A and B are shown apart, each in its own frame.
Chain A
Amino acid sequence: MAITKEKVEELSEIARRIRRHIIEMTAEAGSGHPGGSLSCTDILVTLYFHVMKVDPKNPNWPERDRFVLSKGHAAPALYAVLAEKGYFPTEELKTLRKIDSMLQGHPDMKNTPGVDMTTGSLGQGLSSANGMAIAGKLDGKDYRVYVLLGDGELEEGQVWEAAMAAAHYKLDNLTAFVDHNGLQIDGPITQVMSPEIIQEKFRAFGWHVIDVDGHDFEEIAGAIEEAKNIKGRPTVIVAKTVKGKGVPYMENQVDWHGKAPSREQAEEALKSLI
C-alpha cells in the first residue's frame, strides 16, 4: 500500500515519541542500548504502525504477522513501539531492566505481550524466523515474518546458515532488515570485522536485495511492499541508518552503543526530540 503524506507525518510523530521513550527508559534504568535502538526506530515504527497485521488485544493471534528482533539489544525500541501500539501501558516502560519487570534487558517472549521471539544472543533470530515462515507455508497461512538484524550481527556464522536455508526453502513470506548503522561495540564494523559488501553477500545467497534510507518512511514502506511481491525467494532490506539517530550528541558515536544517558544528558536529548 502506497504511503500518503499524512501517514508519513503520523509515523514521524510516533517515531519521535518512541525516541523520547528510549531516552527516558534507558536513563531511568541507568543502563541499556540507546544507539542501536534509535537507529532502528523508524523501521519498527513503519512495520508496526503501517505494515504489520497484528492485534494488540490478542498478541498470540495465529494469523498475525511476526516480528523477530534478532538484534535483541534494541529492546527499548521494541518495547516502546509495543507500548505505543497498545500491547501494554506506556507506564510500564519505566520498569525497563527492573527485577520482576516484564521488560527485561533483552526481549523475552514469556514476559512481554507482543514479543514473538526471545532474543539477545546475536545471530539466532533469522533461524527462528525461518521456522515461523516455514510453518506459515505449511499451514497455507498468509502471515508474513519480519526480522531485524544488526550489521555487526552479520559477523555471526549462524546468520549465514539461516540465510542459506531461507533461500533454499524459498521463503518469500520472510523479509529481513539489516540495521546498517556501521558501528559495533569495538568500533566501525569495517575495522572490527567487515561484513561488507552486505548486499552482494545476500545476493550470492539467493536473496532479493533492496537498499533504503532507514530513516525515510516512504522508502522503507516501498521496500516492504516490493518484498511482498517478490516470489520464490526471501528479501533483505539493507537500511542505511545512523546510530543514535535523533540525538545529535549520540549520532554516529560508538560510545552510545551500550551506555545510558545521565539525567542531564537525557534532558538535553529530549530537547532535540520535540
Chain B
Amino acid sequence: MSELKKSTRTSFAEALLEVGEKNSNVVVVAADSASRYGDFVKRFPERSFNVGIAEQTMVGVAAGLALSGKIPAVTSYANFLAFRAIEQVRVDVATANLNVKMIGTDTGFSSAWLGFTHLALEDVAAVRALPNIVIIDPADAMEAYSATKAMFDYIGPVYMRLRGRKDEPVIFTKEDKFEIGKGRVLVEGKDVLIVACGGALYDSLKAAEILRLKGIYATVVNMATVRPVDKKLLTELTSYLDKVVTVEHHNITGGLGSAVAEFLAEKGSGVKFLRMGVKDRFGTAGSEEMLKRHFGLDSGAIAETVENFIKEIS
C-alpha cells in the first residue's frame, strides 16, 4: 500500500473522460449531480444532460437513451439512486437488461457529517434484490479507474459504488488489473479468510497486519464485484480455510456478507462464518474515522473481532 490518497469519484471522472473520447455513444445524465462527471461535461456538453433534482426521471431518461443505442451513465448520492429511483431502476433498466451505468456515490461512511439520510449503508441490498445488475464496489481510486473502464466495456446494467473523499487511501496501482466477477487474493494466510470490498478493504488489510503480529495468519480477498460474486475463488479458498469473515461498509443484510454466506451455505461448505459491517442499524453523523470506530469497523476493531471469532470457535 502506498501513502497516496485519492478520491474514487475523481478517478471515475478521469476514466469516464477517456471512455467518452473513444466512444461517442457514451452520454451522461445528472440529477443536479453533474460535478461527479468531472471534465466530461465540459468536453462533451452535447452529450451531457441534467434533469435537475429528479433522480427518477434521470433513470427513466437514461433508459430511453439506452433504447436508442446510447450508453448512459447516471449518478447521485447512492441512496437517492438506489432508493428514490429503485423502481425506475427495476422497471426501466433491470428488466430489459438495458446498458445503463449507475453510479452511487458517497457510499458507506464517506458522506460522513451529512448523517443518516446520506450514509448509504443499504444500497447494495436494494440493488442486489433486482435481477441482472452487476454490482461493483471498488476498494480505491485505482480500482475505481479500471472498474469504470470495465463497466463501459461490459454490455448491460451496472451499479457501481463510489465514495468521493480526497483522503481515500490508495491500495492498488493503475496497472493492477480489474475484471468483473473476479475476486483477488491480496494476502495469503492459513488461519482465516477475510473477504472485503470497497472502503472496508483497506482496514481489512491493516487488520491482517495486526493479526500477523499476533501469530494469526489471514488470507485477504478483495471481492470488488459483489455480484456476480466470485464463486470459483470462494470454492478454492474454502477447500482449505474453514473460517470466513466478510467485511463491508454496508448493512450486514443484503450486501457482500449475504452474497458470500448464501453461496457457502448452499454449497454446504460448513465453514464458520462471521459477517462484519453495520449491524442492522442506521447511520449517524460523524467523520469517516469516527463512524468506522462507532460501528466497529476500523482496523483495530476488525483485528480484535476476527481474533475473538477464531478463539471462540477453536
Q: Which residues does A use to contact B, with CB under 8 Å?
A: 62, 108-110, 116-121, 123-136, 138-139, 158, 161-162, 164-165, 168-169
Contact = CB atoms under 8 A, between A and B. Distances in A.
Contact of B67 (A108, A119, A132, A169): A132
A128 B61 contact: yes
Interface in B11-43: 27, 29
Given A134-B61, A161-B56, A124 B69 contact: no
B68 to A, nearest CB: 3
Given A138-B46, A138-B70, A131 B65 contact: yes
A110 B95 contact: yes
29 contacts: A108-B95, A110-B96, A117-B63, A117-B64, A118-B92, A119-B91, A120-B91, A121-B87, A124-B91, A127-B59, A128-B63, A130-B57, A130-B60, A131-B29, A131-B72, A132-B68, A134-B49, A134-B61, A134-B64, A135-B69, A138-B47, A158-B56, A158-B57, A161-B57, A162-B54, A162-B57, A164-B52, A164-B54, A168-B52
B91 A131 contact: no
Contacts of B64: 117, 127-135
Contacts of B92: 117-118, 124, 127-128
A62 B69 contact: yes
A108 B29 CA distance: 24
Interface residues of B, number: 29
A168 B58 CA distance: 14
A139 B46 CA distance: 11
B52 to A, nearest CB: 7
B47 A131 contact: no
Nearest to B72: A131
Contacts of B87: 121, 124
Interface centre among A117, A128, A135 (most CB of B within 10 A): A128
Nearest to B65: A131
B60 A128 contact: yes
A164 B57 CA distance: 10
B88 interface: yes
Interface in B50-103: 51-52, 54, 56-57, 59-70, 72, 87-88, 91-92, 95-96
Contacts of A138: 27, 46-47, 70
B60 A124 contact: yes
B31 to A, nearest CB: 9
B65 A169 contact: no
A80 B234 CA distance: 50
A147 to B, nearest CB: 10
Nearest to A164: B52
B65 A134 contact: yes
B305 to A, nearest CB: 42
Contacts of B70: 135, 138
10 shortest interchain CB distances as A-B pairs: A131-B64, A127-B60, A135-B68, A161-B54, A131-B61, A161-B57, A132-B64, A128-B64, A127-B57, A131-B65
B80 to A, nearest CB: 13
A222 B61 CA distance: 28
Contacts of B51: 161, 165, 168
A128 B67 contact: yes
A136 to B, nearest CB: 7
A135 B91 CA distance: 20
Contact of B96 (A109, A125, A126, A169): A109
Contacts of A123: 56
Given A131-B67, A135-B65, 10 more contacts: A110-B95, A121-B87, A124-B60, A124-B87, A124-B91, A127-B88, A130-B57, A131-B62, A131-B65, A136-B68
A127 B69 contact: no
Contacts of A126: 60
A130 B62 CA distance: 9
B29 to A, nearest CB: 8
Nearest to A133: B64
Contacts of B67: 109, 116-117, 128, 131-132, 135
B46 A118 contact: no
Contacts of B59: 127
Contacts of A168: 51-52
Nearest to A145: B64
A11 B67 CA distance: 30
Nearest to A126: B60
A165 B96 contact: no
Given A116-B67, A121-B87, A127 B56 contact: yes
Contacts of A127: 56-57, 59-61, 63-64, 88, 92
A120 B91 CA distance: 8
A108 B95 CA distance: 9
Contacts of A62: 68-69
